[in-house]
């Protein structure tokens, strides 16, 4: 008999739309394959829904703040039903880009240099600090957002105007810009799934390039790397996955420049939409969508 799956979908983050798309795709595929499925918002009624439905597994279909930063995971731990993707601690570490960067650096994983900027500080000396420590251009980004929400590439002329867009965050990261190829690698459980290269028509692989089909980002699979470099890429991805204590599926985002892989961040709940990368990587490896979902369900746990 097929298991009962409760999918948590939507939420209040800036990635709500992507969460709904992910959850709809997963629900449709599970129902098609004989699973009993119910979908719920992560609201005050979630615990009652879980108690009434009594699922075997909870599929966490959320993206962004409150969904992949350890918050919803702490609620799911209290419910006591196995849930998909990473637990509280791994989710919190991965979502906080400064914390994860410190872990990468400590463990000799190459990542772009950065400074943390607080909006209570004066902007007057900022350009000279950036020029000295990082050099222009730079990438400015929130510390805890996903899907490249509010991420900008800045030069010394437009950085102040972009910072004005981000001032609601109080603190952000200003990161060394690494040119080169955009490559993403996926891990599932403790196994190396595969990689894909992206050639955005836009400046970089931002929110529009990820989720708007009109952006026409080129997807290249298999990635044109030597076997040695490909193995190095996948080794780094698995190392990062394990260092943070992740489970289920993760996708690590890299820049490949001058024969080096720079790990930008690790995503503990990558999208499962029609334009998402992990299903595409899986399909290339002969793992269809339902099999991918079942592998994620298999790794569900209540282990923090």
* Given the residues 11, 15, 64, 276, the one annotated as active site: 15
Catalytic, 11? Answer no
* Given the residues 197, 271, 282, 299, the one annotated as active site: 271
Catalytic, 253? Answer yes
* Given the residues 211, 230, 256, 262, the one annotated as active site: 211
Catalytic, 21? Answer no
* Given the residues 21, 69, 265, 299, the one annotated as active site: 265
Catalytic, 91? Answer no
Catalytic, 19? Answer no
Say what the alpha-carbon torsion angle 148, 145, 166, 119 is, to the nearest 10 degrees. Answer: -140
* Given the residues 13, 23, 60, 147, the one annotated as active site: 147
Other Cβ atoms less than 10 A from the Cβ of 126: the count is 17
Q: In whole angstroms, how far apart are CA 248 and each of 17, 81, 192?
A: 22, 15, 12
* Given the residues 237, 251, 262, 299, the one annotated as active site: 251
* Given the residues 148, 253, 256, 276, the one annotated as active site: 253
Q: Cα 34 to chain center, whole Å?
A: 29
* Given the residues 19, 237, 267, 276, the one annotated as active site: 267
20 and 9 Cβ atoms separated by less than 8 Å: yes
Catalytic, 271? Answer yes
* Interatomic CA distance for residues 84 and 256, integer angstroms: 30
- Could you give the residue numbers annotated as active site? 15, 147, 211, 251, 253, 265, 267, 271
């Amino acid at each position: 008999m097929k298991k009962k799956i409760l999918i948590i979908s939507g939420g209040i983050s800036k990635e709500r739309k992507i969460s709904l798309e992910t959850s709809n795709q997963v629900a449709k595929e599970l129902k098609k394959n004989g699973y009993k499925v119910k979908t719920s918002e992560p609201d005050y009624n979630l615990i009652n829904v879980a108690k009434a439905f009594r699922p075997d597994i909870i599929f966490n279909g959320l993206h962004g703040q409150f969904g992949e930063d350890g918050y919803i995971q702490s609620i799911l731990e209290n419910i006591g039903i196995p849930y998909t993707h990473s637990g509280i601690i791994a989710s919190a570490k991965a979502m906080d880009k400064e914390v994860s960067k410190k872990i990468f650096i400590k463990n000799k994983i190459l990542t772009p240099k950065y400074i943390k900027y607080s909006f209570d500080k004066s902007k007057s000396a900022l350009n000279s600090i950036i020029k000295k420590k990082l050099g222009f251009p730079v990438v400015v980004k929130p510390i805890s957002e996903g899907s490249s929400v509010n991420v900008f590439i800045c030069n010394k002329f437009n950085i102040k105007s972009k910072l004005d867009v981000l001032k609601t965050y109080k603190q952000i990261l200003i990161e060394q810009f690494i040119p080169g190829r955009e490559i993403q690698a996926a891990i599932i459980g403790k196994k190396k799934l595969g990689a894909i290269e992206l050639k955005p028509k836009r400046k970089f692989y931002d929110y529009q390039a990820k989720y708007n089909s009109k952006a026409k980002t080129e997807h290249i699979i298999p990635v044109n790397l030597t076997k040695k470099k490909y193995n190095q890429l996948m080794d780094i991805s698995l190392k990062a996955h394990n260092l943070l204590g992740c489970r289920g599926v993760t996708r690590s985002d890299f820049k490949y420049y001058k024969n080096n892989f720079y790990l930008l961040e690790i995503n503990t709940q990558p999208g499962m939409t029609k334009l998402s990368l992990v299903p595409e990587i899986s399909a290339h490896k002969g793992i269809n969508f339902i099999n991918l979902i079942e592998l994620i369900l298999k790794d569900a746990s209540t282990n923090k």
